[in-house]
Amino acid sequence: MRASVRACLATLIIVALPVPLALVAQISTRLNVGDRLRVTTPDQTLVGELAIQWNDSLRLYTTGSRARSVTVPRKGISKLELARGSTSQLATGVGVGALIGCLAGAGLANAARVDLGSECNGCTESSSVVSGGLIGAAVGALIGGAIGSGIHSDTHWETIPINSAP
């Protein structure tokens, strides 16, 4: 009897757990003053910071060379997006750097092995090229990661309900 009660409780927890999480996700899309928004209307797309909001409209401070304060009626908004930040290109930098470093290291190791000729006793063709490739990959990954961490992709925009409560 106790095992069936435990099974029921476990099932209830597993089924009911997503409900509060979904509610938290809805709350997190509430707009706050200072949020960066992209507002699309039939006539234009505006990007700016939320200055103030009312039940029927939003006021944005747009950015760029044509910075200004714009009030947009909610009825005229066809799409409302909230900036969720940008991501660094660290992983891409590590991957590209490792690939370039591996090829360069293997090529240099192969060239050095050929230049040594008979002086390289015990060197095998594959071991020196593989070692050079691995060392080059490690150095390239470090350099590529450093470069990639400084490069950020475009802002990630999350579409939110137009009638998010003020």
β-pair type (79-83, 69-73): unpaired
Q: pLDDT digits over 42-92, tens only?
A: 999 988 999 999 989 999 998 777 789 999 999 999 999 998 877 778 888
Q: What is the pLDDT of residue 59?
A: 94
What is the per-residue pLDDT for 2?
A: 47
pLDDT of residue 118: 54
What is residue 49's predicted lDDT score, i.e. its pLDDT?
92
Look up residue 158 and give its two tokens.
């999350």
Cα–Cα distance, 72 to 68 (Å, whole number): 13
- The residues pairing with 46 across neighbouring beta strands, listed in sequence order, are 39
> Residue 118 to residues 17, 28, 106: CA-CA distances in angstroms?
70, 69, 20
Q: What pLDDT, on a 0 to 100 scale, did the predictor assign at position 90?
A: 85
Other Cβ atoms less than 10 A from the Cβ of 48: the count is 22
Read off the pLDDT of residues 98-127 as tens digits, 9 standing for 90 and up.
899 889 988 888 787 655 555 555 566 677
CATH class of the region 31-86+154-166: mainly beta
H/E element holding 79? strand 79-83
Q: Strand 36-40 relative to strand 45-53: parallel, antiparallel, unpaired?
A: antiparallel
Is pLDDT of 97 > 80? yes
Average pLDDT (154-161) is 82
Instruction: Note the pLDDT tens digit of each residue in 4-40.
Output: 445 444 544 554 455 444 444 444 467 888 888 999 9
pLDDT of residue 64: 74
- DSSP helix/strand/coil, 29: coil
Q: Where are the alpha helices (DSSP H) in the chain?
A: 2-16, 18-28, 90-116, 125-149
* Amino acid letter for position 166: P
Task: Categorise residue 64: left if φ over 0, alpha if ψ from -120 to 50, beta otherwise.
Answer: left
Number of CB atoms found within 10 A of residue 50's CB:
19
Domain boundaries, the chain: 1-29, 31-86+154-166, 90-149
